Structure 1
């Protein structure tokens, strides 16, 4: 591919001059500090460009504090150029050609033009430095991330039609998808992640390559897979991303429990489509979120029924049972999330929610005793609010009457939990004077009088809150004069 030809502004589908000017103005407003650094590099005879996500996000109306830049300067030279300008510098990624720095409230990463690829048996990329910005852009994952803005001045460089693809909301690769995914197999996961985060569709040739090369994901570290999966699940459209993983066969390698939920349903044995049910539960759990994406809740919704394939039994009359699938599923969830290197607290919380997600169904129409309700609360612990959401999300019946009944029943359980909590909070309140102090003040032995006095002080405490021991003693003496 001739990169100079593809960057021609008159190419059909390429950015027009008006678009270039508008883009420069948008980028200038969003990243003035980048222009300042660009002048510093230019004065030293080096190229610098804003690249990738920060450029893409300007056209999507998204903002962030992190800036990715690329340059022809090698890392050691970059360190020299930012010395005295940056507030802080770190070299964690320097072996991959990246220097990190902070200026004011912004984080910047400057990476030398490069190309990288995986050996078929290696988990680490081989990094080679490139010569030009266009050579650097062609190795990027998708066209929407293969745009840059030369600094200073924010001249838009879009050799592969990224702006056009943003407008069409489609993911394509700058070169062939096979070459892109061969360079870094994690890009297949990233395609699904962008489908989730941005709501973009994935071009058919990209889907075909993902399907053909799904097994290549095995060489990528569990930690990198976990990070992409977490971003996908916490995206705005996780169903689209997950369906793409299943469709292409990637899920069979990174989350095999998910495609296994597509249980065969024959004409004699009836049960829900567990895979579709799971995605609906995920949607309904997300609809209840209040403070942004909740990774633990979403993972629990996604994995709550993973024990069903192992516990499926055919019963008389064409029924199908999944006895104890919540216990089996909790164990499977723990094993999978541990293998993906999720933090221990996330593994424990998600596994516990999977284990508890059926507990409510023993409630019936309110047959639980107060002690049973307390056990439900105790067993859920800090996960109680999430368990409420997961349990409600797990109702996917199309029978409106049944759905309304389940909802009302759970309303009743939550009301009882609130009432019991209120009672126990009241029960924990104590008057300011204990029995021994009452005896000493009134000069009477243990007996009914002390009980009556204690009740008076408790009522006083409930009515007026804390009043202090001195005021309580005065009130007690007044009560004694009037009642003894």
Structure 2
């Protein structure tokens, strides 16, 4: 089978690589994800991998020298690879190799090999495809493991015996699940059995590498595909036992609760229809994570999960730390949404005070719309009339909040009187009194005792200052 590369947007680049390789008496092939996505008519990636049955580093340098201005070539001697950037592309060159693995490491011992050896070491048949850039068979597809057929069947299969493939490099288990989720492929039966069999090998993979794959699953069109596979194979129990702890339904005195694990997966799928924000999707994943440790059965009340939002938000930090996820603003954002996840529901009442609405506005700040997206995604009932009722309720709360926001301007609240102005009023130096007065102003505005207004705040501070024994300057 020949792939007509003449219409490819990178044809001139491929011809240049072909000519340089021939001049150097080297073979060269395009390999990996670029070939797969080209055949699947997907948007091809901006990183392209090339294999030569010779020295990849010398080939990269020779090609770069033919380009003006010549790009900088980065060499990775330990891996025998070289890469450079060209017209928005990341081009990587490596010598064909065969690999062998030690039991306690996923870092292989490498020796020089042929293209056939290189294709055998690939994770899946759909990634073992190669396109020749050699003059005598330019454009020929080299497919020793029927990868094209597997693309048509939409299945993921390993080139060699699956147990060995996954045991050698257990990150391939996560990659299998990631491709199943992002490409909507099925993991072939023997391959799935092998993942279950070798699942404990995941423990030798760094958490950073696991999370790279996990986040790609979270960003897929329907993340539950990958999350269900992680649960089925036992990987999720190793990586995130806090989630699998949500599984199951208990019954006491004929009263049951919903299975919060499968509910969570529905919420993640729901929110993914409306946002590509990774951390908002994470908020959906963790919004009920506090329910397992807070679950109780109380006579007269049934099953309760009191305080699960507060505990869940605290769990976010330890989870992010263990999973090697960012501990800065992304984590704080997820914590905030988990903590506030049930607040809007409590406001669905005609008698809700403006102060409660102001406090939600103050606490959610610029993330209020994201909180509402999460709340709507949390509606997983299959009863269409209930769905409509819940959504109508949220729209009602949103409209009430909009009225309060327009009137009181408390979103992203900034005190109408500053600490410096308070110090000037009473001729004070920095101290605890300033913080006390600023907090009193904030509370008074949120409770509706005064408006979010400079003059009202100043008069309020003078009055409160007097109660603290302060004297106007």
For this structure pair, what is the TM-score category when the shorter chain's length is used for normalisation? Answer: 0.7 to 0.9
Separation in 2 of the partners of 1:40 and 1:114? Answer: 21
Q: Normalized against structure 2, the TM-score is what?
A: 0.80
Equivalent residue number for residue 383 of structure 1: 367
Separation in 2 of the partners of 1:398 and 1:251? Answer: 27
Q: Deviations over 1:64-106 (max 9, x none)?
A: 3221111123244235323413542343644222211112232
Separation in 2 of the partners of 1:219 and 1:419? Answer: 55
Q: Does the Cα contact within 8 Å between 2:221 and 2:273 map onto a contact in 1? A: no
Q: Label 1:354 to 1:92 Cα distance change in 2 as closer, same or farther (>3 A).
A: farther
Q: Does the Cα contact within 8 Å between 2:64 and 2:73 map onto a contact in 1? A: no
Q: Deviations over 1:455-479 (max 9, x none)?
A: xxxxxxxxxxxxxxxxxxxxxxxxx
Q: 1:111 aligns with which of 87, 90, 94?
A: 94
Aligned residues: 404
For residue 4 of structure 2, give the secondary structure of its aligned residue in structure 1: helix
Equivalent residue number for residue 237 of structure 2: 252
The structural deviation recorded for 1:351 is 1.9
Unaligned runs of 5+ in 1: 1-19, 429-484
Q: 2:14 aligns with which of 28, 34, 50?
A: 34
For residue 333 of structure 1, give the secondary structure of its aligned residue in structure 2: helix
Q: Does the Cα contact within 8 Å between 1:329 and 1:354 map onto a contact in 2? A: yes
Equivalent residue number for residue 176 of structure 2: 191
Equivalent residue number for residue 80 of structure 1: 61
Separation in 2 of the partners of 1:300 and 1:107? Answer: 33
Matched, 1:55 2:35: yes
Q: Does the Cα contact within 8 Å between 1:246 and 1:258 map onto a contact in 2? A: no
Q: Does the Cα contact within 8 Å between 2:71 and 2:84 map onto a contact in 1? A: yes
The structural deviation recorded for 1:269 is 3.5
Equivalent residue number for residue 438 of structure 1: none
Q: Does the Cα contact within 8 Å between 1:263 and 1:309 map onto a contact in 2? A: no
Matched, 1:411 2:391: no
Equivalent residue number for residue 190 of structure 2: 205
For residue 129 of structure 1, give the secondary structure of its aligned residue in structure 2: strand
Matched ranges for 1:145-164 at <5 A: 145-152=127-134, 153-164=138-149
The structural deviation recorded for 1:179 is 1.5
Separation in 2 of the partners of 1:95 and 1:27? Answer: 36
- Kindly indicate which of the two structures has a greater share of residues assigned to helix: 1
Equivalent residue number for residue 224 of structure 2: 239
For residue 131 of structure 2, give the secondary structure of its aligned residue in structure 1: strand
Matched, 1:351 2:324: no
Matched, 1:273 2:259: yes
Q: Does the Cα contact within 8 Å between 1:115 and 1:128 map onto a contact in 2? A: yes
Separation in 1 of the partners of 2:176 and 2:278? Answer: 20
Q: Label 1:318 to 1:360 Cα distance change in 2 as closer, same or farther (>3 A).
A: closer
Equivalent residue number for residue 279 of structure 2: 296
For residue 274 of structure 2, give the secondary structure of its aligned residue in structure 1: coil
Matched ranges for 1:122-133 at <5 A: 122=105, 125-133=107-115
Greater Cα radius of gyration, structure 1 or 2: 1
Query: What is the root-mean-square deviation of aligned Cα atoms in Å?
Result: 2.3
Q: Does the Cα contact within 8 Å between 2:221 and 2:272 map onto a contact in 1? A: no
The structural deviation recorded for 1:225 is 0.7
Q: 2:325 aligns with which of 307, 328, 342?
A: 342
For residue 396 of structure 2, give the secondary structure of its aligned residue in structure 1: helix
Q: Label 1:366 to 1:342 Cα distance change in 2 as closer, same or farther (>3 A).
A: farther
Equivalent residue number for residue 302 of structure 2: 319
The structural deviation recorded for 1:133 is 0.6
Q: Deviations over 1:178-206 (max 9, x none)?
A: 12112211000001100110000100111
Matched ranges for 1:210-221 at <5 A: 210-221=195-206
Q: Label 1:260 to 1:388 Cα distance change in 2 as closer, same or farther (>3 A).
A: same
Separation in 1 of the partners of 2:109 and 2:330? Answer: 34
Separation in 2 of the partners of 1:116 and 1:407? Answer: 56
Q: 2:377 aligns with which of 384, 393, 409?
A: 393
Equivalent residue number for residue 215 of structure 2: 230
253-262 or 383-392, larger mean C-alpha shift? 253-262
Q: Label 1:85 to 1:425 Cα distance change in 2 as closer, same or farther (>3 A).
A: farther
Separation in 2 of the partners of 1:136 and 1:254? Answer: 31
